[in-house]
Amino acid sequence: MDIHFHNTASGKKERFTPIDPNNVRMYACGPTVYDYVHIGNGRSFTTFDQVYRLLRRVYGADHVTYVRNITDIDDKIIARSVERAIPTEQLTNETASYFKQDMTGLGLLEPSHQPRATEFLPQMIKMIERLIEKNNAYEQENHVLFDVRSYSDYGKFSRRSLDELIAGARVDIASYKRDPMDFVLWKPSEGDEPGWDSPWGFGRPGWHTECSCMSETLLGDTFDLHAGGSDLIFPHHQNEIAQSTCAHDGATMANTWIHGGMLQVEGDKMSKSLGNFRTVNDLLCEWPSEAIRLHLISSHYRQQMNFSYDGIREAKHILDRWYRLTENESDVGEDEIPNPVLSAAVDDLNIPQALTEMHKLAGGEDVRGLKASAQFLGLMQQTAEEWAAWRPADLDIDETKIEALIAARKQARANKDFTRADEIRDELQAMNIELKDSAEGTTWTIAS
Ligand SMILES: [Zn+2]
């Protein structure tokens, strides 16, 4: 069965043809580990997991290599570790383990490799040396920069000309850059900042270099599929392509590029200041994980999705029904997935269509087909009894979260957004927290 994907590189839906069907190679840009991941990240990684499941279904589970990296060196990590007064390594180990828990919680399969950027310093230094040798990069003031003018296709992938990009650049141009769009391959580390010895002094790699090196080492110069969120098309993926193509004498980095759409929460852009920032970890305490997953995959992966509590609630009702319908069925095999479901999945991962087909199966007689399809989507991984026994996580007082919610409510009231202020009060009430407002401010207690 042929798979078709919308390929960002060509802008078209194309037949997916792996270089070696016995080893289909896929890379997804993983998290930068300094905090809990939010539900938008959760959606992206669930999409890539669904792609991985599809490739395994079509080419065989042993014939797919999936690399999802962990970025464990980055300015955001350094800033957070200074803020918390802990070593970067402690911060990245802690948050990488939260990330793994969250991904397991959402029912994601473990990728074949989860490399950490800091394990690839020798390879990164080598790649940077190669780019300097080929005149695609230059050293200036202890920085190494990629020379975008040396790569004539720069901007092609992200469909912007270099001149347009320069005109749109609002950043102050650093003195060490020849061209405003030149990007950092290596930068100096100062004071207590983490770093490594290199031919250009003590420093650290740029983010884009990390992915180019990890994919080169684990998947080769050219591989089949590269995935990421649509916010990574420019500059991250454009820059990965520039580096890898130049380092590999013009070889294509990845034949197919797929990008997931962004996520809103209850119709708004998610942001900490709006108080609608949702981490995967929080949601997994409040809702059954499969309900979250079903809600996440119910919009087409390339579309923007609106994440909502109503959506999770609806997904939970659907799963309640499916578990009831199939409770007496014995184990099903993946060869029992009915054709219409699989046909939808191979058509640019049209999961909404697959779900429509599954509702038909639920309404008809084929409950085994329904169960096999649900399992292919990472759902119905438990028994009907386990599903029915689910309860929200025991009340675990998270003072930081409570204080943050109280602050967000105060802000909402100051903005005269009383609807939002009431919502926050309700949310706290659901956490068994009672508020008391007085002239001195707001205090809270645990409701008895
Ligand atoms: Zn990347």
Q: CATH number of the domain that 48 lies in?
A: 3.40.50.620
How many Å apart are CA 425 and CA 430, to the nearest integer?
Answer: 9
Q: How confident is the model at residue 57 (pLDDT cuts 50, 70, 90)?
A: very high
231 C-alpha vs ligand 1 centroid, how far in Å? 11
Å from CA of 178 to ligand 1 middle: 24
Mean pLDDT of 253-276: 92
**Is it the case that residue 448 has pLDDT exceeding 70?**
no
What is the distance in A from the centroid of ligand 1 to the CA of 209? Answer: 8
171 — pLDDT class (breaks 50, 70, 90): low
Q: Spell out the alpha helix ranges (H) of 85-148.
A: 88-105, 121-133
Please give the Cα distance from 388 to 73 (Å, whole number). 42
What's the 226 CA to ligand 1 centre distance in angstroms?
Answer: 9
Q: What is the pLDDT confidence band of residue 276, given thresholds at 50, 70 and 90?
A: confident
In-domain check, residue 42: yes
Task: Examine the domain organization and report whether 122 and 19 are in the same domain.
Answer: yes
Ligand 1: distance of its center to the CA of 276 in Å? Answer: 27
Report whether 348 contacts 5 (CB < 8 A).
yes
Q: Do residues 299 and 179 both lie within one domain?
A: no
The alpha carbon of 233 and the centre of ligand 1 are apart by a number of angstroms equal to 10
Question: Is 282 part of a structural domain of the chain?
Answer: no
Do 104 and 179 belong together in one domain? yes
26 CA to centre of ligand 1 in angstroms: 12
Rounded distance from Cα 68 to ligand 1 centre (Å): 9
Count of domains forming the chain: 3
Report DSSP state, residue 70.
B
pLDDT at 431 over 90: no
Report how far ligand 1's centroid is from the alpha carbon of 61 (Å).
24
Tokens 């992206």: give the residue: 44
Summarize the confidence of residues 82-92 as an average pLDDT.
96
- Please tell me the predicted confidence (pLDDT) of residue 170: 62
Distance 206 CA to ligand 1 centre (A): 11
Residue 307 CA to ligand 1 centre (angstroms):
25
Query: 314 CA to middle of ligand 1, Å?
Result: 34
Structural domain includes residue 275: no
Same domain? 253 vs 109? yes
User: How remote is the CA of residue 228 from the centroid of ligand 1, in Å?
Assistant: 7
Q: Do 55 and 146 lie in a common domain?
A: yes
| DSSP 3-state of 241 | helix
Of 347 and 395, the structure prediction assigns the larger pLDDT to 347
Tell me the CA–centroid distance for residue 235 and ligand 1, in Å.
Answer: 10
368's tokens: 């085994």
Ligand 1 center to residue 366 CA distance, Å? 42
Domain hosting residue 442, numbered range:
399-446
Nearest to 381 by CA among 64, 56, 109: 109
Q: What distance in angstroms lies between residue 13's CA and the mean position of ligand 1's atoms? A: 22
pLDDT on residue 395:
52
- The pLDDT-based confidence of 135 (bands split at 50, 70, 90) is very high
**In this structure, are 60 and 80 located in the same domain?**
yes
